[in-house]
Amino acid sequence: MPAYHGIESMFGLPVGGTPLREVRLVIRGRRFTINLKMEGDNKFRSVKDRTAFFLLEDAEEKGLRQGGTVVESTSGNLGVALANLCGEKGYNFIAVIDPKTTQENVHRLEATGAVIELVTEPDHTGGYLLSRLDRVAELCRNNPAYFWTNQYGNPINPVAHFLTTAPEIYWQMRRRVDVIFMPVSTGGTLAGVSRFFRTASPSTIIVAVDAAGSAAFGGQPAPRKLTGIGSSRPAEFLDTKTFDELAVVGDAEAFAFCNALYKSTGLKVGGSSGATLAACAKFLASSEREFRRIVCICPDRGENYDSTIFNPRWLFENGFAVPEIAFPSRELSVELHAA
């Protein structure tokens, strides 16, 4: 049993200190305990609280002062965290978002008083990331005093996870993790957590989880419904030493795991967490080893997706027949249970 399931934020920081929750995964009769790192329990409800806090510390060191303006491209969670932290610290915030940002996150951004810049034109990949970045560049060109925190390339992003997310997991798991699964978008979480474990626990297997249709690890981007995970261009923080295996998960599998977890345990997690659980189930199903200390990072809560992943009408209209959708329970004979 992991020792410290609910811990205070380490080092007295106002971010992190999120709990692990155990769930049971039964695959063709083999029983596994999975430790979910519940990043939705951060103050502003996602792992991006950590990134946002470190990005702002970095901006302050580079000269951001009270009354200054921060601008960032975000599909949602980082925007919500930055908007709230900027509000607390007396900075203005401009969030450059796109039509895939969930209604829930748009409402939460609006509630902070952040200025919202919605880009509506997809870029040449069919996604919006490059359009969002063009808009950020334009805003900064026209307003040279604006600070672009640049979650995609600022090395402080992985540092946030190296210094907080990873050591929390390491101590919560009593320093023993057999395998850890992490979804990837900018690659900041994966790069930071991996750097820590490669030194502190070199035997830990690191599995990167990407969305089908993402180009985070190269290749051609294609349309996808999952948000938060994946990218329409290669992630800047990653190289092949950062992970041992790459798992690519489709929208339907991810949404099915979100709904199955909610139905069987009452835990409601976001799409990237569902993708991570799907990757974990497939990995365990295809391995002979009896892994005991398994961690899945769950970046945010399902409440952000009530209008999509947990909305039968949205699922139906988008071609997903949930709750039965492609749920690999028949193929892998997967069952999820509360611990």
Ligand X SMILES: Cc1ncc(COP(=O)(O)O)c(C=O)c1O
115-118 and 92-97 as β-strands: parallel, antiparallel, unpaired? parallel
Q: Candidates 18, 84, 154, 185: give the one binding ligand X (CB under 6 A).
A: 185
**Nearer of residues 17 and 183 to ligand X, judged by Cβ:** 183
Q: What sign results for the dihedral spanned by CA atoms 148, 84, 237, 16?
A: positive
What token pair was written down for 228? 């938060």
Residue 228 sits in the site that holds ligand X (CB under 6 A): yes
183 binds ligand X (CB under 6 A): yes
Residue with tokens 């002979």: 288
Q: Per CB under 6 A, does 278 bind ligand X? A: no
Examine residue 232 and tell whether it contacts ligand X (CB under 6 A): no
Q: Go through 196-230 and write b for each residue having 16 or more CB atoms within 10 A of its CB, e for each that does not.
A: bbeeebeebbbbbbbbbbbbbbeeebeebbbbbbb
The binder of ligand X chosen from 119, 229, 254, 315 (CB under 6 A): 229
- Pairwise CA distance, residues 139 & 288, whole Å: 53
* Least distance from ligand X to the Cβ atom of residue 37, Å: 12
Size (the chain), residues:
339
Residue 189 binds ligand X (CB under 6 A): yes
How far apart (Å, rounded) are the C-alpha atoms in residues 207 and 86? 33
Task: Number of residues interacting with ligand X: please give it, by CB under 6 A.
Answer: 18
Question: Which is closer to ligand X, CB of 17 or CB of 188?
Answer: 188
Q: By C-beta, is 48 or 224 nearer to ligand X?
A: 48
**Is the bond into 323 cis (omega within 30 degrees of 0)?**
yes
Footprint (CB under 6 A) of ligand X, residues 117-176? none
Give the orientation angle of helix 271-285 with respect to helix 251-265, to 10 degrees: 90
Q: Which residue is nearest to ligand X (CB)?
A: 228
188 binds ligand X (CB under 6 A): yes
Contact stretch for ligand X (CB under 6 A) within 12-20, 88-96, 183-191, 217-225: 183-191
| Site map 288..327 versus ligand X, x via CB under 6 A | -----------xx---------------------------
Among 213, 270, 274, 302, binds ligand X (CB under 6 A): 270
Site string for ligand X, 29-68 (x = CB under 6 A): -----------------xxx--------------------
Q: Which amino acid is at 4?
A: Y
Q: Which stretch binds ligand X (CB under 6 A): 10-18, 123-131, 180-188, 260-268?
A: 180-188
Q: Where are the alpha helices (DSSP H) in the chain?
A: 48-61, 77-89, 103-111, 129-142, 156-160, 166-172, 188-200, 251-265, 271-285, 312-317, 329-332
Terminal Cα distance for the chain, rounded: 11
Q: How far is it, in rounded angstroms, from Cα 333 to Cα 330?
A: 5
Residue 265 interacts with ligand X (CB under 6 A): yes or no: no
Cα 310 from Cα 303, distance rounded (Å): 9
Catalog residues that contact ligand X under the rule CB under 6 A: 46-48, 77, 183-190, 228-229, 270, 272, 299-300
